[in-house]
Amino acid sequence: MIVTTQQGMGQVALKELATVLSELDERFNSLNFLGEQVFFLPDNLDAQQVNEVKGLLGVAGIYSPPLHYQLASSVWRKERTGFLVDDIGVGAGHFQVMAGPCAVESESQMDAVGRKLRDCGVKFIRGGAYKPRTSPYSFQGLETEGLKIIREVADRYGLKVITEVVDRSVLDDVLYYTDVVQIGARNMQNFFLLKELGRIDKPVFLKRGMAARITEWLGAAEYIISHGNPRVILCERGIRTFDTELRNTLDVAAIPLIKSLSHLPIFADPSHGTGDRKFIKPMALASMAAGCDGIMVEVHPVPAQALSDGQQSLDFAELESLVKSLNSLKKVLPTL
């Protein structure tokens, strides 16, 4: 259950409310959700308790969202959540493209990508320094060296960094260099890692697990938010279905579904969502039309030479064409 408070409520009234809630359920907790003080309890209160809380000074609303994704739910928060990454808006009407190679491979590769992104007006550069690969014999990433490269290139071209953290042991390393932390599909339900991400003060880009139900995905977001970090961005990156023709099935319907269930920003990743560069543009446009807040896409100077995911990486001409098409579509789309 969620209890929201009125704007500008004083410390004394907040404390009084906290005292009453702790008497009703000692597991109550509080969170500053982007400026709004919110109390949340693991269970719903009964009707008599609700009346008691309703009568307290400063209570704005009492809500009963689905219990395992309360803070992520749109039941208590009607407006779309948006926030700044430094000076760059994410969510709530700010459409963003996050682009770059699957993996950081070298300074020259990243420099070429960074310059191209700047020229295309893309604000976020992506690239993994720790790569979760299916085979232990595949390229595993440049680790700290890769983080340094992506940071330096981003600073050179005025970009923000998004990169993946695969384990708690490298979280501090990643946090030092990145602006946004990516949690990959394979780690979506690594609950101990998610709890750690609740304690950081950087946004988390939470990819959908490859066989995750929508409610499991929102439950994963809840882990991060309920541990103190409200800045969560969801990303639909394709799921496993019975069909094997494409690497994954991009679940475009998840975009409006998430928007009806949750206030969190929702992105789409048509690179992993299809596994084939031919289908990136149509699926990116379809995702934008479905109402997503941004696209993550893989780009490489020479996709055929990429050390990972080259077949689902755009070359520079294709990236330019994609960005142009997204900009044109944005102009004619109705607001969803």
| Contact footprint for ligand PEP (CB under 6 A) | 102, 128, 132, 184-186, 207, 237, 272
Q: Do the bridges between strand 29-33 and strand 36-40 make them parallel or antiparallel, or are there none, so unpaired?
A: antiparallel
Spatial distance between the Cα atoms of 63 and 266, rounded to a whole number of angstroms:
23
Cα 148–chain centre separation: 22
Helix (H), strand (E), coil (C) string for 16-72? HHHHHHHHHCCCCEEEEECCEEEEECCCCCCHHHHHHHHCCCCEEEEECCCHHHCCC
What is the pattern of x (binds Mn ion, CB under 5 A) and - over residues 93-112? ---------x----------
- Please choose which of ligand PEP, Mn ion, none residue 247 contacts, taking the beta carbon within 5 to 8 angstroms, the exact cut-off set by kind: none
- Please choose which of ligand PEP, Mn ion, none residue 251 contacts, taking the beta carbon within 5 to 8 angstroms, the exact cut-off set by kind: none
Q: Considering the complex, state which of residue 49 and residue 163 has its C-beta at the smaller distance from Mn ion.
A: 163
Spatial distance between the Cα atoms of 59 and 46, rounded to a whole number of angstroms:
17
- The residue nearest Mn ion at its CB is 102
- Please choose which of Mn ion, ligand PEP, none residue 207 contacts, taking the beta carbon within 5 to 8 angstroms, the exact cut-off set by kind: ligand PEP
309 touching Mn ion, by CB under 5 A: yes
Spatial distance between the Cα atoms of 292 and 204, rounded to a whole number of angstroms:
17
Name the minimum Å distance from CB 100 to ligand PEP. Answer: 9
| Helix, strand, or coil (residue 309) | coil
Name the minimum Å distance from CB 258 to ligand PEP. Answer: 16
Name the minimum Å distance from CB 178 to ligand PEP. Answer: 13
- Please choose which of Mn ion, ligand PEP, none residue 300 contacts, taking the beta carbon within 5 to 8 angstroms, the exact cut-off set by kind: none
Name the minimum Å distance from CB 252 to Mn ion. Answer: 20
DSSP assigned state of 298: E
Q: Considering the complex, state which of residue 30 and residue 144 has its C-beta at the smaller distance from ligand PEP.
A: 144
Name the minimum Å distance from CB 105 to Mn ion. Answer: 12
DSSP secondary structure string, 232-294? EEEEE--B--S--SSSSB--TTHHHHHHHHB-S-EEE-HHHHHS-GGGHHHHHHHHHHTT-SE
- The residue nearest ligand PEP at its CB is 184
Nearest 5°: phi and psi at 72? Answer: -80, -10
Spatial distance between the Cα atoms of 292 and 68, rounded to a whole number of angstroms:
24
- Please choose which of Mn ion, ligand PEP, none residue 82 contacts, taking the beta carbon within 5 to 8 angstroms, the exact cut-off set by kind: none
Amino acid identity of 42? P
Name the minimum Å distance from CB 128 to ligand PEP. Answer: 5
Q: Considering the complex, state which of residue 5 and residue 163 has its C-beta at the smaller distance from ligand PEP.
A: 163
Q: Considering the complex, state which of residue 58 and residue 265 has its C-beta at the smaller distance from ligand PEP.
A: 265
Q: Considering the complex, state which of residue 132 and residue 228 has its C-beta at the smaller distance from ligand PEP.
A: 132
Q: Considering the complex, state which of residue 38 and residue 183 has its C-beta at the smaller distance from ligand PEP.
A: 183
Nearest 5°: phi and psi at 35? Answer: 100, -15
Name the minimum Å distance from CB 102 to ligand PEP. Answer: 5
Instruction: Using CB under 5 A, list all residues that contact Mn ion.
Output: 102, 309
